[in-house]
A and B are shown apart, each in its own frame.
Chain A
Amino acid sequence: MNERTLGAGKIMAAIAGNSFREAIRDRWLLSLAGFAVLMAGAALLFTQMSFGIAAGALINFSLAAITFLGALMAVLLGNQLVAKEIERRTAYALLAHPVRRRELVLGKFAGLLLALTVNTGLMGLALLAALSWLQGGWHSGEGAVLAALYCVWLELALLTAVSLFFSSFASIGLAAVFSLSLFLIGNFNGELRGLGAAARPGPGRWLPRLVADALPNFGGLNLTTTASHYLPVSARLLGWNSLYVLLYGAAMLILSAVIFEFRDLK
């Protein structure tokens, strides 16, 4: 193979590597240190409670914190993935190289997803360590915690794809507002469906359902309650969640790439 011949994969890997480095050097991973301190403090606090309640409270608290910090990172960095490249004009030099626009979009997504994976993974390990310390060892129900952590990661991956989609055509500020709004609404997806089901036949019934179907179902990916009660999580549920995120996320990425392809870099 010619020395100069780079496949699309290598181009995307180079862009992903740079995107990951940006996330790290923006000191986002410092949130990990804060999270570890939070875990230690929470574990100490929860020792005052009885064993069952303490573990459940720690899981609830930790998963909420992991989701919150991860979502913040996904939205704030995800919205900048393309918009910042254009607004700061770094995309000019980048796209003057033999880089296709879709490779830029996918590479940036992969880089941020990698940073989120590291972030979520390390915070998950901190949670498991705190749980182990609180309980004096491993508990059989921790499979549910691992499943919930996996679903948090799925949630963040989907949110990153949604943020990237808005980033491909809106400014950084607007994209942040859009994606954060969608994240909040998406977390109440079940309530939206319930609203439709309780309504009389007509638009009041089908409109909420239509909206709930169209918007990303972040609420469906949240297994915090299941994990805090150490309830079993079926492989089927995890499979469906994975497939849902894969398909919805892919649709967002394809739309982002198509929009960015036709966009003028002013």
Chain B
Amino acid sequence: MYAVECKQLTKEYPPGWKPWRKAAIRKRALDGLDLQIQPGEIFGFLGQNGAGKTTTLKLLLGLIHPTSGEARLLGTPVHARSGVEMRRRVGYLPENPYFYEYLTGRELLRYFGRLSGLRGQTLEQRVEARLEQLGLSEAGNIALRKYSKGMLQRVGLAQAILHDPELVILDEPMSGLDPGGRREVREIILELKRQERTVFFSTHILSDAEQLCDRVAVLEKGKLRGVGPLSDWQGSESGSREIIWRQADGCSEAALQKMNLGAAQALPEAGKYRITVTSSQLWPALDAIRAASGEILKVEPARPSLEAIFFAEPRPNHEAAPVQRETTA
């Protein structure tokens, strides 16, 4: 049984009420998504705005209805009658959560806890534990209308994990958080993994995905561009090497040009530089650095960041792609 399973999941939106348009063009927000997530995985869902990430999450939670295809959570079809009961085992944080502003944080958690079937002492204990975990104990009695965006994000996360769900679906969980808040959320996600929960989250903050995810999927214009472990994504640029060296007395741009290392990048730490070269350029580059009294610190295979993969132009030859293509245009 997969924690999340999509089979040819497609969602089209009607063009709106435009009777003067004879041929109505339907917008395809998601196009034949095939995806499987194993229990216990931390799975990242990446894509630019409008790629179809939120549409997918809404389909998985039954908030919108698919045009075709099927989605299952924890083995249960989402849009079947039993899908409602299955949601007891699922937690969800919407993107930019907006909650009832007349409630306090504590009241909101109690309300959602009741809807999930928690009651009495268990409910109270869970509410207090989650408020404590998310650093909201003191703000628990303040009305949500007075919460900052980061605090709303935290209380949203608290309600998503309040009932101890097996599967946690988070839509942009780091959005609106300061660095400290992001670190706390990362720790919570890792704690959920330690408890063998499945976490499926969408994000456009790629460093978070790099730090957290066992596997990621990239969605582009409603189509799955690829899915796989991060190591598969990042190990694609075979042959390229990254050199990091120190130049004790610094290095001017002119000097780098002279060394034929014009593309080198100065690192934040004073006197350190980095350059990525092909294997044929490796030895001449090392010789040039040594000749300029540079100290070689590191030479390693270049691994493109997710940014590089994410913003790369689609490759015409799919077989040369870093991971197996699950759908093609």
Contact = CB atoms under 8 A, between A and B. Distances in A.
Nearest to B83: A98
B117 A4 contact: yes
A98 B88 contact: yes
Interface string B82-101: 00111110111110111110
B2 interface: no
A244 B85 CA distance: 36
B156 A93 contact: yes
B111 A18 contact: yes
B115 A99 contact: yes
A14 B99 contact: no
B10 interface: no
B117 A100 contact: no
Nearest to B59: A264
Contacts of A22: 100, 102
A222 to B, nearest CB: 33
A240 interface: no
Interface in A1-53: 2-6, 10-11, 14-15, 18, 21-22, 25-26
A88 B98 CA distance: 7
Interface string B55-76: 0001001111100000000000
Contacts of B169: 96
Contacts of B85: 98
A6 B100 contact: no
Contacts of A26: 102
Nearest to B88: A98
Interface string A77-102: 00000000000111111111111100
Contact of B117 (A6, A91, A95): A6
Interface centre among A2, A6, A95, A97 (most CB of B within 10 A): A97
A90 B96 CA distance: 11
Q: How large is the interface on A (under 10, 10 to 19, 20 to 34, 35 or more residues)?
A: 20 to 34
A266 B97 contact: no
B94 A265 contact: no
B147 interface: no
Interface centre among A5, A22, A96, A98 (most CB of B within 10 A): A96
Nearest to B99: A90
Interface string A236-266: 0000000000000000000000000010111
Nearest to A87: B98
Interface residues of B, number: 37
Interface string B135-169: 00000000000000000000010010001000001
A50 B124 CA distance: 61
A98 B58 CA distance: 15
B167 to A, nearest CB: 11
Contact of B62 (A2, A89, A95): A95
Interface centre among B86, B98, B112, B117 (most CB of A within 10 A): B117
Nearest to A97: B115
B92 A96 contact: yes
A133 B84 CA distance: 55
A-side interface mostly:
loop
A25 B144 CA distance: 13
Nearest to B94: A92
A100 B99 contact: no
B108 to A, nearest CB: 9
Contact of B114 (A5, A14, A21, A264): A14
B87 A97 contact: yes
Contact of A14 (B64, B93, B115): B115
A262 to B, nearest CB: 7
A10 B116 CA distance: 11
Contacts of B94: 89, 92-93, 96
Interface string B102-124: 11000000011011111100100
A93 B103 CA distance: 15
Contacts of A11: 115
Given A93-B159, A266-B64, A98 B99 contact: no
B200 to A, nearest CB: 13
A26 B101 CA distance: 10
Contacts of B62: 95
Contacts of B86: 98
A186 B62 CA distance: 37
A4 B88 contact: yes
A265 B55 CA distance: 10
Nearest to B92: A96
Contact of B63 (A14, A90, A265): A265
A11 B117 CA distance: 9
Given A3-B117, A97-B115, A98-B88, 6 more contacts: A4-B163, A15-B115, A21-B102, A89-B94, A94-B112, A98-B87
23 contacts: A3-B118, A3-B122, A4-B88, A4-B163, A6-B115, A6-B117, A15-B115, A22-B102, A25-B102, A89-B94, A90-B99, A92-B58, A92-B92, A92-B97, A93-B93, A93-B94, A95-B63, A96-B63, A98-B85, A98-B115, A99-B84, A99-B115, A266-B13
